[in-house]
Chain A
């Protein structure tokens, strides 16, 4: 396919060629007639070239004006005006030429007259067709399907009427006139489409009237000059005998007259239309402030300006209260801020006051009202609260120097503006909140990652025992802690701890517990001393209602003795590998941080036992035993014991998995309400096992 540009260029070339051919054939026929010679030029040739010329010009304008991107009505009319002006100047200079050489033989030369006539003809046709295309765009502005069909019919009809050229009928012949009347009839019907006029502003309307009047003058002048030529000379191609040309003349003229009249009658209402348009634009600005702007203040600025221009207020102010920041902001237009208090008072005391709140929103704290004022430079006021999420964040007040000057339409438009501004601000705040929440989530993710790194990746084990752990927090971060510390080749310290509560505060205390464990464990303290020191340290840093339960073990692989204390922590579950007997180590103890003085040591009890192969002990936090099922039954100690017995022959990892599976089966849900942690210590086969003494108590 050819591009637009090449079509335009081709049509210019063809236009020039066809016009030249038209000229040549015309002149040769004339020459024939004059000299009675016969060059054998067929009579129909000039007609054919005229049609081809018209078509070329039509194509040219169709593609240069018809498809132009911007629809600026004044630009379109300007083009028509310029084309008309050019044509007129050329036509006038030809007239001038004839005037100057009026008496000479030159002007009597029929060939020369015909040449000038054809120059005129070309330009007039160009003007007519370009104007026709412009009118087409104006008529089809905001087109409907029906209108488009009528227009297409009109165009095809015009196109076909070109062929009438060959019929030989002349002006005032019946068929000729019938066709013209039909075409003009359709043109009349189409000419009532003047929607574009509404979109002109006041100034543009005046300009349009000027251009259109000039077009009418051009048309009159061109028509008259065509008539002049037709009457005075012998013409081979007489435009007045062309149906198409006459119909276009008539159509352009009719539409111009209609347009001028409609624009004239629209002049007085154009200001109303303009202000409506401005309202719409302001409304758009208000709703678009969030994506484009970043600040609430911009919304308020736009609201104030839009409101002022919408109701033609003489002055206005906008108060914004930021409750969070505890500050108040004031935007004013054409107003001395000192006057505001006076005006407020006047509005309060006004006897002509009207509350605008609807019945549904009776809220005396945020009244919408209009009032008539006294003793201040303004006679009427419109007050509108700006409410976001049921909370008044500001007040808009509009003032006028004339009394009772806020009508219903104005109040409605202000209502719309204020609502839109509220929505914008609410959206803006929601967006900010969403961003903030997103940030918190990220922070929590980091906290969760950091806290996971506080739990040991590997636990100290040796040939005597194996150990495995499982831990899960209910929230992103939790308060459960376990760790091991190798004191020397034989001794390893092992701890499990549970901070009261859960979530962030528990997580902080848990990290403190880790610090305490690592500082104290390396001192190789006795279990009792460890607890006393830990209690003393925690007493100074725990919240008033927080405490930590812990169990502390020292596994001595040389003497095969485990020494341990329990500070309020869940009793350790112990399985005797040989007898398959289980017991919970319920020695005396008190949670860390409960007694924050030296009397704590009275509540610490140290136990010890010899271990032997296949012995297992299970450390856990209360999240495990207190996990409930749908019937609110707790998993409890007995189920834990049964579960351990079931899996006791397996490796620690398998025991852990088994118990966790049993727990999940019992609860029937994979997400529990509490943090839960479990450590399995299993002693491995070792020769020379001493007989186990029953738990020996040492005060």
Chain B
């Protein structure tokens, strides 16, 4: 099961993803990120501290935004990944393309928000 919640601030939006992201639940994740992008946020934080498992379909969602975010100059930072989950990002090579940091503080620092 996936658990997704969104917290909006003036400058940024924080999407919390928990549980498991598989082929079917990845659609929900995709819709949430799509909303944040179309709402015009330039700064997106993704809190993955509750994320236990992500399948290749879930990774596909993050991957599919890489180029769109670049073009729209949107800053997206992922933080709080468990080691096991981070490893999955790492093997695929996504850690080279996505901004992944340890905690919320570093994420905020990177996004330049308080």
Contact = CB atoms under 8 A, between A and B. Distances in A.
Interface stretch (B35-43, B91-99, B101-109): B91-99
Contacts of B94: 568, 590-591, 594
A508 to B, nearest CB: 15
Given A501-B23, A545-B30, A595 B66 contact: yes
Contacts of A500: 56-57, 59-60
10 closest residue pairs by CB, A with B: A590-B93, A500-B56, A545-B60, A568-B92, A545-B64, A501-B57, A568-B93, A544-B64, A500-B60, A594-B63
Contact of B91 (A546, A570, A632): A570
A586 B94 CA distance: 14
Contact of A545 (B52, B63, B91, B96): B63
B67 interface: yes
A501 B56 contact: yes
Interface SS majority for chain A: loop
A674 B23 CA distance: 11
A622 interface: yes
A567 B88 CA distance: 13
B61 interface: yes
A594 B59 CA distance: 10
Interface in A485-530: 498-503
Contacts of B59: 500, 547
Interface of A: 498-503, 544-547, 549, 567-571, 586, 588-591, 594-597, 603, 622, 632, 634, 674
B68 to A, nearest CB: 9
6 contacts: A500-B59, A501-B55, A501-B60, A502-B23, A547-B60, A594-B94
A171 B23 CA distance: 103
A590 B94 CA distance: 7
B109 to A, nearest CB: 26
Interface string B4-29: 00000000000000000001001000
Contacts of B88: 622
Nearest to A637: B87
Interface in B49-101: 52, 55-57, 59-61, 63-64, 66-67, 84, 88, 91-94, 96-97
A594 B93 contact: yes
Contacts of B55: 501, 674
Contact of A594 (B23, B26, B30, B92): B92
B59 to A, nearest CB: 7
Nearest to B52: A632
The winner among B57, B91, B96, B97 for most chain A CB atoms within 10 A is: B91
B63 A591 contact: yes
A500 B26 CA distance: 12
Nearest to B92: A568
A638 to B, nearest CB: 13
Given A549-B92, A590-B94, A622-B88, 20 more contacts: A499-B56, A500-B60, A501-B56, A545-B26, A545-B61, A545-B63, A549-B56, A567-B93, A568-B91, A568-B94, A569-B91, A586-B91, A590-B92, A590-B93, A590-B96, A591-B93, A594-B63, A594-B97, A595-B66, A595-B67
A699 to B, nearest CB: 15
Nearest to B20: A632
B93 A545 contact: no
A394 B11 CA distance: 54
Contacts of B93: 567-568, 588-591, 594, 603
B60 A546 contact: yes
A603 B97 CA distance: 10
A674 B56 CA distance: 10
A148 B16 CA distance: 85
A572 to B, nearest CB: 12
Nearest to B57: A501
Contacts of A503: 23
A501 B23 CA distance: 6
B85 to A, nearest CB: 11
Contact of B56 (A544, A567, A589, A622): A622
The winner among B26, B30, B57 for most chain A CB atoms within 10 A is: B57
B69 to A, nearest CB: 13
A549 B59 CA distance: 12
A499 B84 CA distance: 21
B91 A571 contact: yes
